[in-house]
Every structure is written in structure tokens, then in C-alpha cells.
């Protein structure tokens, strides 16, 4: 098992990607321990005093004006967690829960939460030994923190709730016991530190970001194949065009596609005397569209990287100033905006892909390819309904791409009167990227079949490898057959990243 040492405030996206893709375990850099313990000491002193400090010796939310006796502080924190375990719906995927736990550790490591170091050690051990809380995915409005899902995560820390351990769903206490771990009773403010934060929303948004970036990389590869399938021009990929505009994503997309298409016999065959003056936008404007989407993803990545390294609970312990201050870092508005940006970029990558599919199956537009990419149209329908499926998925993603962050509603007796809706704004990305990967998978099937119809002319060496890899899992469509397995296999090649392994061209980097 890979164990990463993360430095709070300095952790990068490559490390977070390892947590997500490889389910790497994490440990905080030991240098942050002193700051964590200083903040915990400050909370301990406040709990023993008479001055009301929110979340330490008071109630929560609308009940913040109620003073709690020092003897009841442990009960207060336990009750907080149990009462807030109100999540519903399907359980979060394991890898996103682990990413959420890692983000919570990074937040604690900033030394402003007031938790004891032994809670950090328990969370690290849970990751290392594979104790994964079962967390219902619905119930957060993205302020004041992702309360319900983070409570389900924290419930296992105190021996409650449920956890996945070695494939078995167990009571939290039993899962810890089997892993050789023990629950910890929460002290003053510690329950609040666990659940007042944006780690649920941020984990889902990061997962969406990583998945969509992989999809965007696949889109560059597959769209290059589509360009050859319809005998499109590579003139719009000329580097000077994109340098004159200056957008990084557009420049990167054109460079990558130009490299992938190098040495294509198909391209050379129609470089001169082509009766067509220009290709449709879905071919000609690929760098401008996919490249713009990549730039939007990069902007979202910057926001999410800051948030991943942030202290987002409330109140925060300002040890240098000797203060415990209530603020609003739990409000997930930045994450909500980032999730909406990712959704928009994702939707557009799928929209232009779907138009390329429609182009290839239409004999009026595909430059002499057979109707629906079947050798015997009429008797066979070929990829006719595969295209229809992508139209349905594209439309669904357009609907899902509508902003979530604008849909605030008051909660908690109007104490929390503006919320971010970042939770489901980020969570919907998982459904959207599944749709996108299906769309790209169908484009892959169409483009590969289109290129095969251009024989004896050959596509580029790199794209020949791509087709060869596809044909390991999906044979060339000669006559109608049960199509669902073909679509599933093509989608898996896209989603897994396997298809990208056929490339020698350098792919654009996220940051």
C-alpha cells in the first residue's frame, strides 16, 4: 500500500490524484503536530473557563446562545455527531470517502481546529488499515459545512455508524476492533471540527475534476480519429492560428491533435484538390471548444487545490493571536462555483463529441462513408441507435449542467440563511462524467469504423495503435449484433485511461 506524507497547506494535485486513483493512504507531515497540539491546548483552556465560546461550551446553530456545563462537553460533542447523522441515499464510493478523510486530515493539520493529535492518528490508521465509513451521499447543502456526510464519517471515529472493512459492512465499533483500533471519545469542539467543513463537497468536486480531465484527454485522441474518419483537414490545427489567440487550452489541444495525426496517409490523400473548402465546426473548432473546456477545468482546479489545503471549520483557533473566532470558512461557495464550472466544461466536451458522431453516421455529411457506418445499410442499422443514445446522454448532461450554486435556501431556523448547494453540485459530476464517457466511447466506435472504411489508406501510426487496442475488446461491426456490450467495452476503455496508454504524443497537464 502506498502511504503519502502530506504537508498541510502545501499538498499538490498529483498527491490528491494518487489518493483518488490509487486509494493511497496519507499521513500528515510530523512538523504540523506542534501547531495541532497548541490549538488543542487553547480549546482545552477555553472549555474550562466561564466565557461562552461557540461550539466549545455552547449549543450549535440557532442554539448557540445556550451555555453548556463543563461536565457535559463530551456529551455535547457526541450528541452533535449522532443527531447530525441524517444522510440518505446511496453510500459514497469508497475512493471518494477516502479522499474526503484525507482532506479532513489536511484541514486539521493547519493547526486551527483544536483537535487532539490522537484523533489525527486514528484517522490515519483508518486509512492505512482500510476502515472506510459508510456515508450516505445525500443531505448536505454545503453550509454550515457538509454536516450530515461528515457526521457519518465521524460516527465511526467514536465507534458508532457503519464502516466497510475488508468488504464487510460492519458497525463502526466492530470495524475498528477488527482492524486493531479503538474509538475515541470526543473532547470540547472536536465534533464540530470534524463536521464543520467542506471536505465532502471538495472530495466529490476533485473526483469529478480528475475524471473529467481524463475524459478531456480521451476527447483529444478520439476527435483526432474522427477527423481522419471524415477526411477532415488538419489546417485548422496550424500552430500560428492558436498562438494568435493565445489561450493555453486551445494551443495545447491543437498541438496534441496535430501530433496524434502526424503521418496519416488519409490526411495526405486529400490535402490537394479537396472539393470541400471548410469542415463543420465540430471538426474545425475542436481546439477552440475542447481547449476552452480544459482552461475552465484548470481554473476550477486552482480553486479546489486551495480548498483542499484550507482550514474550513468553525470556530477557528488563531494560536498566534490567542483567539478562538467564529467565521464562515465552512461555506462551500468556492467549491460550488468550481463544481458548476466543471459541469459546464464537461457538458461542452460531450456536446461537440456528439456532433462528430452525428456527422460520421450521416451519409450526406460524412464524405462518402456508408450510412450509419454499416457495409449494408437498410438490411443493417449499424450505429444508428448508438448515435441516438449519445443524443439522450448529451441532453441529460446539458440539463445537469445548469448551475447549482445559485439555488440557495434558508435552513436551521434561518440561522443558516444562505447556502452553497456545493454538495449535490459536486456529486452530480459523477453522473455527468459517466454519461460523457459513454458518449466518447460511441465516438470511438464510429471513428474507428470510419477509418477502416478508408482502407487501403491508413491513419497515423498512433491512431492505428488506438484502433488495434479497441479491437482487442470490440470487433469491427460488419453486420447488426447485440450492441450493448460494445458500448460498455468502449466506455470502459475511455473511463479507465487504457486508451491513452496507446499514445506517444504528450498530453496536456492539468496544472
Active site residues: 54
Q: At what angle do helices 248-260 and 461-473 cross, to 10 degrees?
A: 80
C-alpha cell recorded at residue 372: 450509419
Contact 423, 141 (CB under 8 A): yes
Q: Name residue, grid cell 482546479.
A: 301
Rg of the chain on CA atoms, in Å: 26
Beta pairing, strands 25-28 & 3-6:
parallel
Contact 291, 249 (CB under 8 A): yes
- Quick one: DSSP state of residue 280? -
Contact 446, 357 (CB under 8 A): yes
Entry field: residues in the chain: 511
Q: What is the DSSP string of 436-493?
A: HHHHHHHHHHHHHHHHHTTTTS---HHHHHHHHHHHHHS----S----HHHHHHHHHH
Contact 188, 73 (CB under 8 A): yes
Whole-number Å distance between alpha carbons of 120 and 302? 26
HSE-up of residue 489 (Cα within 13 Å, Cβ side): 14
Q: How far is CA 78 from CA 41, 49, 59, 245, 331, in A?
A: 20, 21, 12, 57, 23
Whole-number Å distance between alpha carbons of 348 and 211? 15
**Across-strand partners of 138?**
88
Contact 207, 429 (CB under 8 A): yes
Q: Name residue, grid cell 481547449.
A: 291
Contact 286, 321 (CB under 8 A): no
Helices (runs of H) and strands (runs of E) counted in the chain? 19, 9
Q: How far is CA 416 from CA 167, 219, 277, 411, in A?
A: 38, 41, 59, 5
Q: How far is CA 318 from CA 28, 60, 73, in A?
A: 20, 20, 21
Amino acid at each position: 500500500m502506498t502511504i503519502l506524507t502530506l504537508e498541510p497547506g502545501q499538498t499538490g494535485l498529483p498527491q490528491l490524484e494518487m489518493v483518488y486513483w490509487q486509494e493511497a493512504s496519507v499521513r500528515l507531515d510530523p512538523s504540523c503536530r506542534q501547531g495541532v497540539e497548541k490549538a488543542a491546548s487553547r480549546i482545552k483552556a477555553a472549555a474550562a473557563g466561564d466565557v461562552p465560546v461557540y461550539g466549545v461550551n455552547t449549543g450549535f446553530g440557532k442554539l448557540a446562545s445556550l451555555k453548556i456545563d463543563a461536565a457535559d462537553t463530551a456529551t455535547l460533542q457526541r450528541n452533535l455527531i449522532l443527531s447530525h447523522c441524517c444522510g440518505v441515499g446511496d453510500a459514497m464510493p469508497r475512493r471518494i470517502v477516502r479522499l474526503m478523510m484525507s482532506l479532513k486530515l489536511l484541514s486539521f493539520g493547519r493547526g486551527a481546529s483544536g483537535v487532539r493529535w490522537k484523533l489525527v492518528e486514528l484517522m490515519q490508521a483508518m486509512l492505512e488499515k482500510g476502515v472506510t465509513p459508510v456515508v450516505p451521499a445525500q443531505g448536505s447543502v454545503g453550509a454550515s459545512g457538509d454536516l450530515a456526510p461528515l457526521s457519518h464519517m465521524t460516527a465511526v471515529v467514536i465507534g458508532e455508524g457503519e464502516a466497510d472493512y475488508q468488504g464487510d459492512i460492519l458497525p463502526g465499533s466492530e470495524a475498528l476492533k477488527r482492524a486493531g483500533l479503538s474509538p475515541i471519545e470526543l473532547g470540547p469542539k472536536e465534533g464540530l471540527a470534524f463536521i464543520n467543513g467542506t471536505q465532502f463537497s471538495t472530495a466529490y468536486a476533485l473526483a469529478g475534476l480528475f475524471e473529467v480531465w481524463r475524459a478531456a484527454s480521451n476527447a483529444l485522441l478520439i476527435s483526432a480519429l474522427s477527423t481522419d474518419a471524415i477526411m477532415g483537414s488538419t489546417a485548422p490545427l496550424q500552430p500560428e492560428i492558436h498562438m494568435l489567440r493565445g489561450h493555453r487550452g486551445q494551443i495545447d489541444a491543437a498541438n496534441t491533435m496535430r501530433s496524434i495525426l502526424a503521418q496519416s496517409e488519409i490526411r495526405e490523400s486529400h490535402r490537394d484538390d479537396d472539393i470541400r473548402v471548410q469542415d463543420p465546426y465540430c471538426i474545425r473548432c475542436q481546439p477552440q471548444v475542447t481547449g476552452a473546456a480544459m482552461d475552465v477545468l484548470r481554473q476550477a482546479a486552482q480553486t479546489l487545490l486551495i480548498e483542499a489545503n484550507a482550514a474550513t471549520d468553525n470556530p477557528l483557533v488563531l494560536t498566534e493571536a490567542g483567539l478562538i473566532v467564529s467565521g464562515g470558512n465552512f461555506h462551500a461557495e468556492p467549491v460550488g462555483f468550481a463544481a458548476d464550472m466543471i459541469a459546464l466544461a464537461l457538458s461542452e466536451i460531450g456536446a461537440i463529441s456528439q456532433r462528430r458522431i452525428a456527422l460520421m453516421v450521416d451519409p450526406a455529411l460524412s464524405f462518402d462513408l456508408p450510412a450509419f457506418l454499416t457495409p449494408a445499410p437498410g438490411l443493417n442499422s449499424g450505429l444508428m441507435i448508438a448515435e441516438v443514445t449519445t443524443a439522450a446522454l448529451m441532453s441529460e448532461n446539458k440539463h445537469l449542467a445548469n448551475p447549482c450554486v445559485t439555488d440557495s435556501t434558508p435552513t436551521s431556523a434561518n440561522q443558516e440563511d444562505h447556502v452553497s448547494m456545493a454538495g449535490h453540485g459536486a456529486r452530480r459530476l459523477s453522473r455527468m462524467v459517466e454519461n460523457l464517457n459513454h458518449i466518447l466511447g460511441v465516438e470511438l466506435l464510429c471513428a474507428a469504423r470510419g477509418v477502416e472504411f478508408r482502407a487501403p489508406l491508413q491513419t497515423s501510426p498512433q491512431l492505428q495503435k488506438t484502433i488495434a487496442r479497441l479491437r482487442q475488446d470490440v470487433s469491427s461491426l460488419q453486420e447488426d449484433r447485440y450492441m450493448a456490450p460494445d458500448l460498455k467495452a468502449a466506455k470502459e476503455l475511455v473511463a479507465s485511461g487504457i486508451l491513452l496508454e496507446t499514445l506517444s504524443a504528450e498530453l496536456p497537464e492539468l496544472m
